[in-house]
Homo-oligomer: A and B are copies of this chain.
Amino acid sequence: MKIIVDIGACDNPAKMVRGCVEAAKEYTDYTIVIVGDTEFIKSTIGADMPKNIAIEHASDVISNDDTPTRAIRQKPDSSLVRAINLLNGSDDAVGLLSGGSTGAVLTGATLMVGRIKGVHRPMLTCFMPTAVEGKLVCIADCGANVDSKPEFLAQFAVMANMYVGALFGIEKPRIGLLSVGAEDHKGDERSKATFALLKQSTDLNFVGNVEARYALTGDYDIIITDGFAGNVLIKSVEGTAKMVMTELKNAMMSSLKSKIGALLMKKSVYKLKDRMDYHAYGGAAFLGVKKIVVKTHGSSNEVSTKASIRNIIRMYQNNIIDKIKQGMAVEETDTTNAGE
């Protein structure tokens, strides 16, 4: 089985390559196909190349400045388009990991891999750390779709439910709906209509509205939201965590006394920093297309690359695509009125 990794447009391609090598050593049943500049990849790996690493040359990249739809059509030699062609080309290619621009990866996956029948909109999920050590929360949608209809959001819940189940073996993930208050009637038009749809569902463990301040308590496995508010949520968590850690560092360096104190606390603070580091959780799965597609942060390193590959393997082993297909088939039968 092959996992395709597009390193073309990421910030640190060497780190992604080294992450692939580490993954190849651990997951020996899988071949990691790295798509990018052959010479660069070869020289980064060096003499000790694992047998289950393959290289596919791509002479071009799609950058952040390119318009996604146009670039997908006009750059056949870009690493992303090559990678998706490899993914589409054979049944033993089980998933794609890309460090490219989000817009291009999402557009490429939607246009070239294609939506699963019945899916209104494929959506992007990501994991955030919570106050409970070792426990993550899945944000769905974290930014792929803005102006989502309530029906889309209800479907995000169905897909995220299967995804979190597949990755963590949680049987009935606790699903919260992002809103401006915990009470049932709180929210905007979209969230209120979504609340009603989720409440109807017998398959989902929907526990109600969640205020953003409680999203990371560890009480929820999944937070459902339109991509606009989802993006605001994940970006403000990221920005705040970074700001507090920077301020903490400044506080530590502000006097001789606090410097000595910081030295003694180093280990504990590093542990905290690690917990707040999204790299460890792997990339964002793009759910609702016909193959497994994971978009990793442009600044991905060895750890996040390996974690993303591990997640792809777990999703594959748990038949996530088939499960979503079945889920959509059931949904279609259930909801005669869902149309877009």
Q: 1/0 per position for A208-249, CB-CB distance to B under 8 A?
A: 000111111100000000111101110111111111111110
Closest chain-B Cβ to A132's Cβ sits at a distance in Å of 10
* Residues on B with beta carbons closer than 8 Å to the beta carbon of A240: 216, 236-237, 240-241, 244
State the CA gap A180–B211 with chains docked (Å). 20
* Residues on B with beta carbons closer than 8 Å to the beta carbon of A258: 264-265, 267-268
Q: Are A235 and B251 in contact (CB under 8 A)?
A: no
Given contacts A147-B188, A261-B261, A268-B251, contact A232 B243 (CB under 8 A): no
State the CA gap A241–B248 with chains docked (Å). 12
* Residues on B with beta carbons closer than 8 Å to the beta carbon of A282: none
Complex copy number for this chain? 2
Closest chain-B Cβ to A255's Cβ sits at a distance in Å of 7
* Residues on B with beta carbons closer than 8 Å to the beta carbon of A232: 178, 180, 212, 229, 232-233, 236
Interface centre among A188, A254, A263, A265 (most CB of B within 10 A): A265
Q: Are A235 and B263 in contact (CB under 8 A)?
A: no
Q: Are B180 and A228 in contact (CB under 8 A)?
A: yes
State the CA gap A258–B261 with chains docked (Å). 8
Q: Are A269 and B251 in contact (CB under 8 A)?
A: yes
Q: A212-B232, A213-B239, A213-B242 are in contact. List 10 more A-B contacts (CB 8 A).
A: A143-B180, A212-B231, A240-B240, A240-B244, A244-B276, A254-B268, A258-B265, A258-B267, A260-B261, A261-B262
